[in-house]
Structure 1
Amino acid sequence: MTAVHDDPHRGPVTFSIVVPMFNEEEALTALTARLRPTLDGCGEPYEVVAVDDGSTDATARLLADLRALWPQLRVVTLRRNSGHQAALTAGLHRARGSYVVSIDADLQDPPEVIPEMLALARADGLDIVYGVRADRSTDSVFKRRTAAAYYWLMRRLVGAHVPAQVGDFRLLSRAVVETLKTLPDQRQVYRLLIPWLGFPSGQITYRREERVAGATKYPVRKMVLLALDSVTAFSAAPLRLATAIGALALVVCFAFLVWTVTVYTMGRTLPGWTSLIITVLFFGAVQLFCLGMLGEYMARIYTAVQARPTYTVAHDTDEETS
């Protein structure tokens, strides 16, 4: 039988559900209507850690109202909007359960799958159970294509151990959570970091549903930033690419030099303004590209040296005194 994580203020908790939220007032009612019956049906003590990531709508007020009716609901409020991964980090670090499940509030990942994850983890002795999006027909063609390209690139750069079509809907054991808490508090990309840890894992497949309400919190700009963070955090390939481009530029430069000398010896030299401009632009672009790649890694080093926290907690209802 799985041990529960005890706390002197609220009693034992078998599993925690971490839900990062940013301006999710329209989705909260539907989320509660599906999540609470699912968790109550498990018949084990649990907590729901709702992390309010600096919402500017009525999310905070609605969470306070819900907590009065739902004793297992716990609200962690961040002082400012810190981003999805930072809010997820805050929830994981404060969750008390022996198992911790992370899920978004938009209900694209069905909470009804959580009992299956828990059962699989216990039956097979797994520390990680991934929710795999086997059917993404509800997503737009653009979303499906970009997601496929992202996972293809990550598997090529990071390794085949990265599961495809896996987001942030997963179950983690207490051992995994404690390991994550020991890592430096920098920008984490959990869909790559967690497989890298190497804990025993399994998968549960499901159909990805449409967002229940509100607008996506991952527009194209944030998707690009996530891909950039993923590449620079887990692979030195861009640096090697910059080196390869530099080597290619050297070959092109040498070939151009040979061509120039050949033309000169044949007495067919002409004013070379066009070729000169093209050459300058080409090598200028190569140099800027390589400097940009170096700059991305230097920025990460700069951020790590600063050692600033990725989030700050304003309030945690679990720390309220009676």
Structure 2
Amino acid sequence: MPVTAPQFLDKILALSEKKMIALESKILFVDDGSTDGTWQLIKQLANENEHFSGIRQSRNRGHQNAVLAGLMESIGKFDITISIDCDGQDDINAMDEMVAEYAAGNEVVYGVRSSRETDTFFKRFTAESYYKLLNMMGAEVVYNHADYRLISERVLRELARFKEVNLFLRGMIPLVGFKSTSVYYKRHERLAGKSHYPLSKMLGLAFNGITSLSIKPIRIITTIGSSVSLLSFIILIWVVVRFLMGETVSGWASTCALLTFIGGVQLICLGIIGEYIGKIYLETKARPRYIISERTYQNDDR
């Protein structure tokens, strides 16, 4: 943040000089319940310059909830909101084109990586597979887009009507609709902090996105279950016929293999069904998706 905050300020001032945004525009930092000195730094920035402001969550609730908190906080205050991480990887100069696309009539502008040439083969392969898997499973996402985007206030007001607790904004915002487009940029090396999305978390986010936005895995389970049941029924008929003919099957290997296979399929199916039941359980509780404990400014709307 100490590295990127001046860059954000310079961009705000540059856009206002071009008359693309108002000079009163703000930079809002979201502290996701950090335990270091992040909140003190945000308060210091807010005291030093009127363009900086911040909110702090009562505890860490995850990246998606933090982004949502910032987006919801801007409703009623600004015409457009651009969400971006503070690590400096996303090119802030793409904001110029984003604002221009908004002026041209687009209410959602997605920031999309133009290439992954700087990634390792493993990182590129897993990332591309991640987006393909999401789309294949029925979660509508923009390829190579994360959470760098421009959203109009009208879209945010409609997004606020989505009440689900299990958040996957990359898939939720396309569901809102309205005219949208994409701008492309090259991603830089990380300027600050370290990645909080290793492969395990990426897989977790992908699975959360699939199960939050699509019932296709349940339909796949139904197809697998029907296929396995049909196969088992055919084998049963074959076994009965062989028994009546007095030609019983000797050996236990084939029987054990079949039972193990069916048992494994059943456990996988139960696991996926359990995931959906768990999400239903969390949704029915209707717990708040974020709780703001502190602000650097007086909020007149709440």
TM-score above 0.5? yes
Give the superposition deviation at 1:147. 1.7
- Percent identity over the alignment is 36
Structure 1 match to 2:106? 126
Q: Secondary structure at the match of 2:192?
A: coil
The structure 2 residue matched to 1:157, chosen from 129, 133, 137, is 137
Q: Compute the displacement of 1:276 (Å).
A: 2.7
Partner of residue 270, structure 2? 291
The answer (yes or no) to whether the contact 1:185–1:309 under 8 Å persists in 2 is no
Cα-to-partner distance string for 1:42-74 (whole Å, 9 max, x where unaligned): 122211110100112221222222222221111
The residue type equivalent to 1:90 in the other structure is: A
Mind listing any 5+ residue stretches in structure 1 that lack a counterpart? 1-27
Equivalent residue in structure 1 for 2:127, among 147, 167, 190: 147
Matched residues in 1 for 2:101 and 2:106: separation? 7
Deviation at 1:270, TM superposition (A): 4.6
Provide the secondary structure at the position in 2 that maps to 1:255. Answer: helix
The question of 1:32 aligning with 2:13 is answered no
3-state SS of 1:46 partner: coil
Shift of 1:255: 3.0
Distance 1:31 1:307 in 2: 36
- Aligned partner of 2:14 in structure 1 is 41
The amino acid that maps onto 2:9 is: R
Gaps of 5+ in 2: 17-21
SS at match of 2:53: strand
Q: CA deviation at 1:150?
A: 1.8
1:280 matched to 2:259: yes
- Contact 2:83/2:147 (<8 A) preserved: yes
Q: Distance in 2 between matches of 1:304 and 1:320?
A: 28
What SS does structure 2 have at the residue aligned with 1:319? coil
Letter matched to residue 46 of structure 2: R
Q: Which residue of 1 aligns with 2:237?
A: 258
Matched residue SS, 1:41: helix
Matches within 5 A, 1:75-224: 75-95=54-74, 96-122=77-103, 124-158=104-138, 162-224=141-203
Quote the Cα distance in structure 2 between the aligned partners of 1:292 and 1:185.
21
Query: Which amino acid in the other structure matches residue 42 of structure 1?
Result: L
2:120 & 2:9 partners in 1: Cα distance? 29
Q: Do the aligned partners of 1:35 and 1:112 also contact (CA within 8 Å) in 2?
A: no
Q: Tell me the alpha carbon deviations over residues 218-246 of structure 1, each in whole angstroms, 9 at most, x when there is no partner.
A: 12222111111111111111101111111
CA distance in 1, matches of 2:249, 2:204: 47
Distance (Å, rounded) in 2 between the aligned partners of 1:126 and 1:293? 38
| Amino acid corresponding to residue 224 of structure 1 in structure 2 | L
Does structure 1 conserve the Cα–Cα contact (< 8 Å) formed by 2:166 and 2:279? no
Counterpart CA distance in 2 for 1:317 and 1:222 is 31
Measure the CA separation in 1 of the matches of 2:218 and 2:299: 49
Q: Does the 8 Å CA contact 1:239/1:294 hold for their aligned counterparts? A: yes
- Indicate if the aligned counterparts of 1:102 and 1:169 stay in contact, CA closer than 8 A: yes
Give the SS at the match of 2:146.
Answer: strand
Comparing 308-317 with 257-266, greater Cα deviation is found at 257-266
Contact kept, 8 Å, 1:131 with 1:170, in 2: the verdict is yes
Offset of 1:37 from its aligned partner? 0.5
For each residue in 1:276-315, what CA deviation from the matched residue of structure 2 results, as whole angstroms up to 9, or x when unmatched? Answer: 3222222211211111121111111111100001221110
Q: TM-score, normalised by structure 1?
A: 0.85
SS at match of 2:2: helix
Greater than 6 Å deviation, 4+ residue runs: none
Q: TM-score, normalised by structure 2?
A: 0.91
Matched residue count: 292
State whether residues 43 and 53 of structure 2, in contact with CA within 8 Å, keep that contact through their aligned partners in structure 1.
no
Note the alpha carbon deviations across 1:114-170, whole angstroms, 9 max, x for none.
122111210x211011111012223332222122112212223337x6321111000
Query: In 1, distance between residues paired with 2:45 and 2:121?
Result: 36
